[in-house]
Structure 1
Amino acid sequence: MELTKIAFISLIFALILASGCAISLWEPNLPANQTQQPTQANTGQPTSLYITSEPSSANVYINRGFRGVTPLTIPSIAPGTVELWVTTGTQENMTNITIAANQITSIHVPLVGIQPMNQQTQAPPATPGTGGLELNSTPTDAFVYIDGVYMGRTPLTIRGLIPGGHELKVSSSNYLEFKTTVLIEADKTQAFSPTLDLKGTFSTLKIDTNPSNADVWLNGSFQGMTPLQKIYPGNNKFRVQLQKPGYVTYTTNRSTTEGQTTDMYYSFIPTNGKAVFI
C-alpha cells in the first residue's frame, strides 16, 4: 500500500515537471514596500574618548571632574561638547571638544607653562615686524586663547603675533566666554582688559559708600568693608547694614538676580543728622 502511494506521488511530480510549471515554496506575508532582510549583528561601537598629552602623565578633567592621567581612554562617555582641562600642575591646556556618538574621539593636547597667579610673566623679546598684546581680565587668572591656541592665564603678555586680525578668547569657570577679534599692528603692543560676565546661575552684589571703609553686614553676618563685591549662586535676598564710626548706621533690604549685578551706593549721614531706614 505504501509503495503504491509513493509511486502515485512520484507520477504527479513527473507530470508537473513535464508540463513546465514552476514549483514555489511558501514565504511569510510581508507588509507593502518591505522585504525580508537577513539578520545582521549590531556593529556600532560605544562612545569613547582617547586623550594623550605632551608631556604625558598629566591629570585630565572633564567639566572640572577628574577622570585620570594621560594617556587615558574613557570607554563610556556621553556624546556632545565638553570642557577638557589637562594639567601637570606646572603646565596645562584647556579647550572645548565635541565627542561624536558611537565613535572613538582622539585628541592630543600640548601643554604650556603656568605663570604664578596674578603675576605677569616675562615675555620673550619682540620679533621685528610683529605685534603683541598685554592682557588683563576681570576676573584674573582666566584662560587665554589666540586663534584657538592656548597661550596661558591672565595677566599675560603675548608677543610675536603676525600683524592682522586674530581671534581672542578668554574663559573662566562660572563666567561666560569672551570672544572678539583683535587687530595686531607691527612693532606695537596693545593693552586689552576684557571683563567677563557671570553665567546665569550666579548673581553679584556690589556695595560702595561715601566715605568708604565702612563695615558691611549681610543678614547679620559681617562680610568686609566697602567697596565690597560678593558673588552668590542664584537669586538672593539680603538685610544690609552699613556701619562707620561717627555716622548714622544705615539699614535696608536688597535682592540679587541670577546673571545680573546689583549695585548699591550710600552716602553716610553724620551722627548729628537723622537716621535713615528704607
Structure 2
Amino acid sequence: MPDPGDVLDGYRLNAVIGRGGMGTVYRATDQALEKTVALKVIAPHLADDPTFVRRFREEAKALARLDADGIVDVYTLRETEEALFFVMEHIEGPSLQTVLRRRGRLEPPQALSLLRQVLTAVGHAHASGVLHRDLKPSNILIDADGQAVITDFGLAKILASDADLTATHDQLGTVAYMSPEQVKGLRNVDTASDLFAVGLIAYEVLTGQLPFDRSGTDFVVQRAIVDASFPPPSTYAPEVPPAVEQVVLDLLSKDPAARPPDAQAARTRLPIPQTADEEPLLTPDTPPAPDVGFTAWQWAGLAAGTLLMLMGTYAGVRGTLGLPILSTAGPAPSETTRTAATPAGPSSAEQKSTPEANDTGLSSRTGQDPSTETSSSVNPSSSDEAPSDESDPSAAAPSEDSTPPGASTDNTSGATSAPDDEPSPPPEPATGAITVRSSPDGATVRLNEQTIGRTPLTIDDLAPGTYRLLLDRNDHRAQETTVPVAGNDTTVVSPTLPPRPAVVRLGARPDGTVRIDGTPQAPTADGLVVDSLSPGPHQITITSTLGRWAMEVTLDPGETYERTIDFTERVESAVTARATGGPPLPNATVTVNGDTVGYTPQRLRLRVGERTIRVMKDGYIPAEQTVRVEPGMETPLVFELAPEPE
C-alpha cells in the first residue's frame, strides 16, 4: 500500500483520510493541476482477486454516473503497475458521524435540512439506477458550505446491469444500518433498503441514538432490526415535529412495501422549510481561537502579583536598613483576602487551592513558599516605628475570623523572610493506559494508524484524550473503535472478532442452477454465482440439463472456494462385480440411470455429475450406488452381490 509522500501516477499522496474493506482513501494533490483531490486505492491483498477488482471498478462507474449535488464526484479511474485507483472530489469537512459525536444530536431544523438533502441525493442515485447499500453517518460528509455529500459507494449495485457482486471479505454493509431484508441476504435488497438506512440516520440525528442498543453482538443488533419495535423519536426528543416523526417511522417499516415508494415521495411529505432556500445543514465546527495574549482575568492576576512583589521588596529593603515599614490603616488582610485580590476566572478553584499558580504561569505571590512567608510581607505593621526584636503581637496578628487554618502568623523578624526555594514546577500531567484483549487472541493492534503489537497487550503512558483503535486478524473481521483515555486510569477493550466470511464462486457448463443450502442463487453477467458465506459446512447443489452435482463443503474463515462443474466432460471408468466375499462375477448387467450399458467387467465413459449405477445377475440380489463422476475418481467401481436366499 502506498504511503503518504509517495507519488502515484502524477498524484502526490498527502495523508490517509479513510480506510475500508476494499482500500484506502488518501488526500492527494494533482501535480499537473495543483488541485487537491481524493484517491481511493484498492487494497494490495485484493488487487489480484478478479471479483474485488471488478467490484472496485463498479464503485467507480457507479459514482461516475451520479453527477449531482450531494454525491461526491469521480474524475477518473487509473490502473498502473503500482496500484489500481480512482480519483474523486475531495470534500473538506467532517463526516456526519464526527458531527454527531461532538454534538450528540442536531436541532430539529438542522435534522430536517439533513434529511431533505440526503433524500434528494439518494433519489438521484436511484433514478440513475444505482443503489448505495451502505448508507451511514460515516459515509455522509459535511462540506465547507454546510451541505451533506454522500460518498463511499463500495457496495453499490447498478440496477441496469447484472453486475451484482455480493462477495467481500468484510461485512456486507454495516450491521447497525442494515435493513431487515439486507440482514436476511444482500441479494434481496432494492431501493427500499436504502430508504430504511436513511430512516435510521434520521432517527439518530434527531435523538442522538439509534432505536435499538447497538452495543450488543452483531446477532443481537440484527435480531432487533428484524423483530424489535422501534420507539418513536419523540420518546427521546419531545421537540421532534410530528410530521417529521411520522416520515421517519414510515421509512423504518419492517415491510419494504410499507415504506414510501421512493425517496422523492418521502421528501415531499416532509415540512417545507420556513425560508425560501434550504438552510445549510451545519456550519463547520470552528476550532478555538489561538491564545494570542492574556485574558482580562490573567492581566488582573499579573497586576496583583506584581503589586505584591513590589510591596514585599519594599518591606524587605526597609527592614534590612532598620527603617520603619510604612503601614496602612485598618486590620491586616487575611490569607483569603489576598487570594481573592486576584479575580478568579474559570479556574478560581485551582487558584484558591494552589495560590502559587495561575493561568499566566506566574506566581501571584512573588514565588514565595507559603509555609515560610511572614505576614509583614503583605501586611505591614500599623506603627511607623522601627520594629524591635519582640514586636507587638497585637500589631502582627492577623484577624481571627479571616486567617485560614495553617496560615503563618510568625513576625519575629519584622521583615520579609527570603524565599527558601524556587517556585515548584507544575506537576507532570497524569497519563492513562489501554488494555486490549480480543477473542480470539493474536489480533494485530493499531493505535491511530500505528501498529503496536498483538493482543493481549497494555499500552501505557497515553496522554488523556480519544484514540482510534483497530484490531485485525487474517481470519476474522477487523474491528475499529474510538477509546477515551483519562489520566490515572486504564481503559479495557475486549471485543469478540467475528469470523471473516468465506467467498464462493460457483458455476455450471452448460448454464444451470446453483443452490446454496437449498436456496437458488442468481448468477452474475459471466454466469457465475458469487457470494459470501459464514464459515462452516454448506450444502451446494449444481444442476444442468446434462446432470446434477451435490456436495457438502466446509469453509474456513476468509477462504475463497471456486468450482465450476463441466457437465460436458466425460470420465473414463470401469465397473466390476463379485460375490460377497467371493470370486468375480462376470456377465452381470450394468445400467446407468436406468439405461443398460453393458456387462461386467464393463469399461464406461461417463459424463461428469451424479450417476446411479445398478448391477444385476440372476441368483443374486442387485446392488446399486449413486456415484459422483468427476476427474480423478477411483476406478474400477466394485459391486458386491449377495446370493438370493434359497
Does the alignment reach a TM-score above 0.5? no
User: More strand by proportion, 1 or 2?
Assistant: 1
Q: Which has the larger radius of gyration?
A: 2
| TM-score (norm. length: structure 2) | 0.15
Output the TM-score relative to the length of structure 1.
Answer: 0.32
Which protein has the bigger helix share? 2
